[in-house]
Amino acid sequence: MARKFLISRVALAMALAGGMAVAAAPTTVAAKEKKAAKASFSKEYAAVAAEIDKTVTEAQSDPTVKAAADKARAAQTDPAMAAARAEVDAAMGGILAKLKAAEAAASEPLDKLKQGELTRNVGIFMNDVAMQHRGLVMMAESGAMSPETAGQVQYLAGVTAYQSQQYTEAARWLQAAYDGGYRDPQGMLQAVLADSYKRSNNPQAALAIVHKELEAAKASGAKPNETSIRTALQAAYDAKQLAPSAEYAAMLGQYYPKPDSWNAAISVVRQLGSLPSKENLDLMRLMYVTGAMNDKRDYLEYIENVDPRAYPGEALKIMNAGISKGKISASDLAGEKANTEARVSSDKASLAAQERDAMKPGATGATIAGTGDVFLSYDQPAKAETFYTMAMGKPGVDANAVAMHLGMAQAMLGKYAEAQANFAKVSGSRAPVAKLWSAYAASKATPAAAPAAAAAPQS
């Protein structure tokens, strides 16, 4: 099942639409570049472009043009769109034919820059994204743009290509804007670029976009940008790579420890790891303590993993939590809740004897570790820590499981440094889970800091 941990395509489109609305006013880039470079238009181009420029400028306050442009924005069918664009063309005095003639006369770099600007602006009036893109590309390829302006134009060229579902073309321009240091005020560039690479079947490029930036942030001690982490997480997930997915999932949980962040982080490892129930149980435990359980599946999977026959106290806790939150009902449990409640009483009554057996000099490592597991399931991390510490290094125990559970008990006790040290000892299939728990301990040990921006926004 495909999952989105970055941003849904619908949300992405809506965010882009908002960003483009801000940038949809007719631009005057050519005039600024002309003044800065002390350049001039060719005589041939100036002769035909002056009237078009005047028409575009006056159209902003012309009620007839505005009414036609509003129809173009509201059009829901191809015939309605064609009719509305024809109205815009007529209201602007046959602007399309004039633009075509002007394009043929554009010979100098500044001519081409201005022609692109006019084309893009007319495309805005006509709600023609392809026309806007064509104009932006003319501007970007004119050779007359300063570095200060180029990034924004490249970004908008990428966005219009993305909106037209030309994803390879979108990636080309967005990558150019990114490499040039441009960062849009909305912070959407990385997300759109990564999605463009994904949709053009190049997920590795999407991952490479942010890996270097995240590593630099970590090296400098800065808090990595959340969008960058989510972009990397989505790209690694799309590539079905568990190790980097777990790395970015841990970063997301550590630096942005919110329930939705933890849900995304845990869901990545949960899906890619396909862990056996005993190992997946520790993921579900983390999902519970971080408040990241969202739906019926989460609660039922936790209950199945914990096994009410093995750990009835913990199973009953999750049953009650799911029912109280309206995520599951008694009917979902098919009578299992009553059976579990009956088991809890006798199970608790046996704890003292089990504790005595584990403390005996001849107790096996398996007995000691198992006793730690029982106390952990009853939310008694102090006793669990004692038994896991005793079990460490004893023959016949699963060293990875003991280190994992010892770290969990210590994290619950607020011993975050000790917990992280034990999580670091975990290897094998449990390692991704330990990485997430270690991130949880780190998030509790370190006060939240302000996120570092990917780069300074430019306008």
Class of residue 46 by CB neighbours under 10 A (exposed 0-12, middle 13-18, buried 19+): middle
Give me the pLDDT at residue 34, please.
55
According to the model, what pLDDT value does residue 39 have? 65
Considering all CA atoms of the chain, what is the largest pairwise distance in Å, rounded to the nearest integer? Answer: 101
What does the pLDDT read at residue 354? 95
* pLDDT number for residue 211: 82
Locate all alpha helices (DSSP H) within 221-378, ordered by sequence.
226-238, 242-255, 259-273, 277-289, 296-306, 312-324, 336-349, 351-359, 365-377
| R_g over Cα of the chain | 30
pLDDT score of 19: 44
10-residue mean pLDDT series, the chain (459 residues): 46 47 50 59 94 95 97 97 98 97 95 96 96 97 90 95 95 94 87 87 80 83 87 86 95 95 96 95 98 96 96 97 94 91 94 96 96 98 98 94 98 98 97 98 77 39
Tokens 């979902």 sit at which residue? 332
Give the phi and the psi of residue 38 in degrees, each rounded to 5. 55, 40
What is the spatial distance between Cα 88 and Cα 34, in angstroms, rounded to a whole number? 29
Domain edges within the chain: 15-145, 146-240, 295-349
Contact 108, 45 (CB under 8 A): yes
List the helix and strand counts (H, then E) for the chain.
25, 0
Token pair recorded at residue 89 = 């063309």
Which two structure tokens, joined as six digits, stand for 371? 């006793």
Per DSSP, the residues of 350-416 read THHHHHHHHHSTT--HHHHHHHHHHHHHTT-HHHHHHHHHHHTT-TTS-HHHHHHHHHHHHHHTT-H
Q: Exposed, middle or buried: residue 271 (CB in 10 Å: 0-12, 13-18, 19+)?
A: middle
> Which of 315, 312, 314, 284 minimizes the C-alpha distance to 297?
284
pLDDT at 38: 54
Separation of alpha carbons 79 and 355, rounded Å = 79
Please, is 36 exposed, middle or buried when counting C-beta atoms within 10 Å of its C-beta (0-12, 13-18, 19+)? Answer: exposed
pLDDT of residue 18: 46
Residue 389 CA, chain-centre distance (Å), reads 38
Assign 26 to helix, strand or coil: coil
State residue 368's pLDDT score: 98
For position 24, what pLDDT does the model report? 46
User: pTM (2 decimals)?
Assistant: 0.72
pLDDT value at residue 15: 45
CB 406 within 8 A of CB 422: yes
| Dist CA 336 CA 333 (whole Å) | 5
Residue 79 in contact with residue 148, Cβ under 8 Å? Answer: no
Domain at 146-240: CATH code: 1.25.40
